[in-house]
Amino acid sequence: MVIHTYIEYMGWGAGGWGDEFFFGFLMTLKISLSAYALAVIFGFFATTAKLSKNIFLRFMAVSYTTVVRALPEILMVLIVYFTVAGLAETALVKAGFVDKGFQFNPFWAAVFALAFVAGAFMAEVLRAARLAVPEGQIESATAIGMSSLQIFMRVILPQMMRHAIPGMGNLWLSITKDSAIVAVLGAFSELLYTGYRAAAATKEYVFFYGVTAVLFLLITLISIAVIQWMERHLNRGYA
Amino acid sequence: MMDFFNNVFSWLPELLAATPLTLILTLVAGIFGLVFGTLLALARLSNILILSVPANMFMFVMRGTPLLVQLYLIYYGLGQILPGTWVRHSVLWPYLRDGFTYAVIALSMNQAAYNGEVLRGALRSIPKGQIEASMAMGMTNLQILQRVRLPLAFRDCLPVLTSDIIILLKSTALVSTITVLELMGTARMIQRESLQIYEPLIACGLVYFAVVMVLTNIMRPVESRLTRFRKGNA
């Protein structure tokens, strides 16, 4: 219960856990950022499919968003993590690209799993934002002879992003928190797994899980500031 | 392929037997969460700083950190502190050796923070005229709260509260990490014992999907009954 033991615990190097937590913090940010970027891509694909005229595409997209949003994140992450890593490994080995005993990089498998879950929620946010763009805008753009790509880039995207930002901001906050779930896989040291190892090694559970919680809170605080700035930026001219 | 599906279905009875525990966790944490969430919302809106500041901090911390971290902090943290205190020799001890108790505490606190935030918004959006009218009738503050503010606020945010219940149900899967053998915990136990990787997880997914769908469809008539006074909801 002496203050200087705790300072020692958070020291840099072999004796302390300071450097481990620092890199764990970076790892959590890396996982969250990669998963978020991938989730935006999944979300755009799913939204496009949902709003398309093709019944098969629509069915696929609706099943994806319905099923993923109805299952617990931890279950989805486990299923996708094992399936993707397992199937991709088998496929690559069979195709002869890699040697036997090849193992998929667990980082990308975990990122893919998180993004797969977040993508379903992202699709709903983007769909609502896309529908908030008035039809007249798109008709006008067609009338002056813009191509579909031009319409999307110059008319739809700038206007839908304004509506999408609050939902996308919430999703970013939940993806940083959901990234803690990959600690259950125990494959690499993000924030929670670092806290878990530190707590197990020293038996100082309150202290190290407390540190973990504070660092997650720090991510949330910084994120909220950035999201508010972006909202103001995209809403300029509307206030 | 046939074998695969046979395996999936063979795990269903065992998983269905674990479903009541998932539902109990949801129900208990849902009720505690609603009660404490209401108190939190009222504390946050109060003019007394000693109530509003801690309520505000509690809600921010619970909503800003992962539930999994909160679970670990409560389960392992209390496990580190409690044995050295009077609690060790009290009647509570047998319950405090069970992961279930910690799961309920963590889930309730988390749910209370989220419900509190929703209710705070609903309480604030009640038209001033309603409260002024009740004051003009000579109601006491408690009466206004009971008869006007809370009923209006609850109906206003009911759709959000029901979707929070679904989110809570999905969050209960996380307590499998602190040794509670609910649906997810049972699936992972089967996974370890049978050495099948996918089948127990897929079967577990089927059960969750069914439960969520049933729950969503139970909520819908309740929601439309409680909001039947709204336009277009007749």
The percent of residues in chain B predicted with pLDDT above 90, rounded, is: 71
pLDDT classification of B234: cutoffs 50, 70, 90: very low
Q: Is the Cβ of A188 closer than 8 Å to some Cβ of chain B?
A: no
pLDDT digits (tens, 9 = 90+) for B5-14: 888 888 999 9
The domain spans of chain B are 2-226
Q: Which residues of A214-223 are buried (b: 16+ CB within 10 A; e: fewer)?
A: ebbbebbeeb
**Mean pLDDT score of chain A, rounded to an integer?**
88
Biggest CA-to-CA distance, chain B: 73
- Of B218 and B107, the structure prediction assigns the larger pLDDT to B107
pLDDT digits (tens, 9 = 90+) for B65-78: 999 999 999 999 88
pLDDT classification of A1: cutoffs 50, 70, 90: low
| Average pLDDT of span B12-34 | 95
Give kind and range of the element (H or E) at residue A10.
none
The domain spans of chain A are 31-195
Distance (Å) from the alpha carbon of A207 to chain B's nearest alpha carbon:
8
Predicted TM-score of the model (pTM): 0.88
- For residue A192, the chain B residues in CB contact (below 8 A) are 66, 68-69, 72
Measured torsion, CA atoms of residues B175, B180, B182, B183, in degrees rounded to the nearest 10: 60
- Of A102 and B124, the structure prediction assigns the larger pLDDT to B124
Would you tell me which CATH number, out of the four given (1.10.3720.10, 3.30.70.2740, 2.160.10.10, 1.10.1060.10), belongs to the domain B2-226?
1.10.3720.10
- Statement: residue A141 has pLDDT above 50: yes
Kindly give, in sequence order, each residue whose CB lies less than 8 Å from that of residue A188, ignoring residues fewer than 6 positions away.
A27, A106, A107, A110, A182
Cβ contact (<8 Å) for B72 and A195? yes
Considering CB atoms only, which of A184, A205, A216 is closest to B77? A205
* pLDDT of B222: 82
Distance (Å) from the alpha carbon of B146 to chain A's nearest alpha carbon:
33
**Rounded Cα gap, residues A99 and B215, in angstroms:** 48
> Which of A56-65, B108-117, B223-232 has the least mean pLDDT?
B223-232
**Rounded Cα gap, residues A177 and B113, in angstroms:** 15
pLDDT digits (tens, 9 = 90+) for B94-117: 777 788 999 999 999 999 999 999
Q: Is the Cβ of A89 closer than 8 Å to some Cβ of chain B?
A: no
Provide the CATH number for the domain formed by A31-195 in this structure. 1.10.3720.10
Distance (Å) from the alpha carbon of B198 to chain A's nearest alpha carbon:
7
Angle at A117 (CA atoms; ends A112, A122), nearest 5 degrees? 110
Considering CB atoms only, which of A75, A178, A217 is closest to B204? A75
Residue A203's region, left for phi above 0, alpha for psi from -120 to 50, else beta, is: left
Structure tokens at A36: 């978020």
